[in-house]
Structure 1
Amino acid sequence: MRPSFNRPSARRIVLSLAIVSMGLALPGCTRIRTHQGYLVDKLLVDSIQPGIDNRTSVEGTLGRPTFASQFGEQQWYYVSRDTKQLAFSNPKASDQTIIRVRFDPAGNVVGVDRAGMEKIANISPEGDKTPTLGRKRSFFEDVFGNIGAVGAGGAGGGGGNPDNTGPNGS
């Protein structure tokens, strides 16, 4: 007589494997939250006073800006963005703060402005082609379209004056 073992039934094995696979798959469906850019401290930003502070004091209080303007009046920008993403989908902005510090030519603070989510531009492409202006040419027209145009009169190259006379006809 054989010794009897407590063998789990096939139903239990399948159920156990299903629970384990769901346990491994669920973390892939969790929402990913990220922060990019400047960490905004409202108290520090509110402490910047127009007419009192200058570039040095702003850098000492807020740190180096995310980026500075290159042309026109001098401006520093501090950009902060929080995003949410579900598994493999594209991240979506959940919060954004843009702080702009404006300076006069002497380097003194003229103003501090704030903006938020209203500055986000939503660009959604249509289809798989980018609309362009100009002629609509096929691939073969692009490749073979210039055959015969090289050296044609008025088209550049060297073929504009067949008798090689000077500009005055001499």
Structure 2
Amino acid sequence: MAIGQTFPIRQRVRLGLALLVISVTAACSATFNNHGYIPPEEELAAILPGVDTRESVESSVGRPATSGVMRDEAWFYADYRVRNFAYRAPEIIERNIVAISFDDAGVVQNIERFGLEDGQIVPLSRRVTESSVQEITLLRQILQNFGRINVADALGGDT
């Protein structure tokens, strides 16, 4: 092929197909997101149950990031890793939870670690609101109103 000549049509089609396959393959690769924070093991090892208090834990490892993960009896630190893969729903592939529990005086009772394999469910935030409003469908509203209709008023006549 001489300089200045363009690629033949077959080579352009092959090149285009190769670029398409590479693009589709790259778009379907998994992406990972990390969320949360757990104090390093060295800092957790420095916390002594029966000795340290909420204040000393706060100064050494800090408070949990949001108020939704704090309770009076325990603080929960959590981190997790999520895999996003093309059209599939995101999947948590790794989760770690550190629970530092306190007694009534605010002294550390225990430090526990939970992982995804433990299957421990920890409600980090409970926001349950009971509603007194019932969902009423249009058909139900129409049927409930049949007994309340005054025929004379509906027809515009005198009673």
**Shorter-chain TM-score above 0.5:** yes
Q: From the two aligned structures, give the one with the greater helix fraction.
A: 2
Deviates more, 1:94-103 or 1:42-51: 42-51
Matched, 1:142 2:140: yes
Pair member with larger Rg: 1
Matching residue of 1:19: 18
Instruction: Find the aligned partners of 2:34 and 2:4 in 1 and give their Cα distance.
Output: 55
Instruction: Find the aligned partners of 1:7 and 1:148 in 2 and give their Cα distance.
Output: 81
Amino-acid identity (%): 22
User: How has the CA–CA distance of structure 1 residues 150 and 98 changed in structure 2, closer, same or farther, with 3 Å as cutoff?
Assistant: farther
Instruction: Find the aligned partners of 1:149 and 1:46 in 2 and give their Cα distance.
Output: 72
- SS of match in other structure, 2:146: coil
| Alignment root-mean-square deviation, CA | 2.6
Q: Any unmatched runs of 5+ in structure 2?
A: 123-135, 150-159
Q: Which 4+ runs in 1 deviate beyond 4 A?
A: none
Matching residue of 1:160: none
Instruction: Find the aligned partners of 1:5 and 1:38 in 2 and give their Cα distance.
Output: 59
Matching residue of 1:119: 120
- SS of match in other structure, 1:98: strand
Instruction: Find the aligned partners of 1:57 and 1:92 in 2 and give their Cα distance.
Output: 36
Q: Any unmatched runs of 5+ in structure 1?
A: 122-137, 152-170
Cα shift readout 1:111-170 (whole Å, capped 9, x = no counterpart): 11221111259xxxxxxxxxxxxxxxx95542323113559xxxxxxxxxxxxxxxxxxx
Cα shift readout 1:57-112 (whole Å, capped 9, x = no counterpart): 1112222114112xxx5211111111212123211111111111111222111111
User: How has the CA–CA distance of structure 1 residues 13 and 40 changed in structure 2, closer, same or farther, with 3 Å as cutoff?
Assistant: same
Matching residue of 1:30: 29
Task: Write the mapping of 1:85-164 to structure 2, written as runs, cut at 5 A.
Answer: 85-117=84-116, 118-119=119-120, 141-150=139-148
Instruction: Find the aligned partners of 2:62 and 2:44 in 1 and give their Cα distance.
Output: 11
Higher relative contact order (CA 8 A, sep 6+): 2
